[in-house]
Structures are given as C-alpha cells and as structure tokens.
Amino acid sequence: MRKQWTYYDRFYPEPTELQKTLFRDAMMFKESMYSETSVQDKLLKLESPEVRQMYSQMYQLPPQRYSDPDEQNINAPDHSQH
C-alpha cells in the first residue's frame, strides 16, 4: 500500500479522495487489531452444530412448487412395455 501512496503523492500533492479512502481503510484495519486465525481454529469452528446446520440449509434445494406428472417420467411404473 505504501507503493500506491508514493505513486499518488508524486502526481497529486494534495490528497485525493482515493488517497483519503486508502488512509482511512488503513487506519480502520490498524484499529481493528486483526489477528490471523490458525487452520486448527477454523476446523474447530466447522465442527459446531450451528455451523453444520447453517451449511446444510444453505446447500439444500428448495421445495418444488409443482410436482412433475408421471407422464414426463420415463421410468414411471405404470408405463406399458411395447
């Protein structure tokens, strides 16, 4: 990010909106005290029942509004053999 700042500082002596937002984002990131979580912590979170239920609901197909009639089903049991 420092390279971006020096690049923009060469062309624009006064801070532009982009420079202001870059500085603001950097300060917000610094204030948030970001700490990287380990892989083991992430795997432990996956084993919680709440997370499992959330993912099962996310990847579940919605119920069908209209049932498919057997006429369109090729393998319907009441079709007669030729």
Q: Is the pLDDT of residue 60 over 90?
A: no
Task: Provide the pLDDT for residue 58.
Answer: 84
Q: Return d(Cα 70, Cα 76) in angstroms, integer.
A: 6
* 79 vs 33, higher pLDDT: 33
End-to-end CA gap in the chain = 73
Kindly report the pTM of this predicted structure: 0.33
**What are the boundaries of each domain within the chain?**
2-58
Q: What is the band of 71 on the pLDDT scale with cuts at 50, 70, 90?
A: low
Q: What is the band of 14 on the pLDDT scale with cuts at 50, 70, 90?
A: confident
Q: What is the mean pLDDT of residues 1-19?
A: 79
Task: Provide the pLDDT for residue 24.
Answer: 93
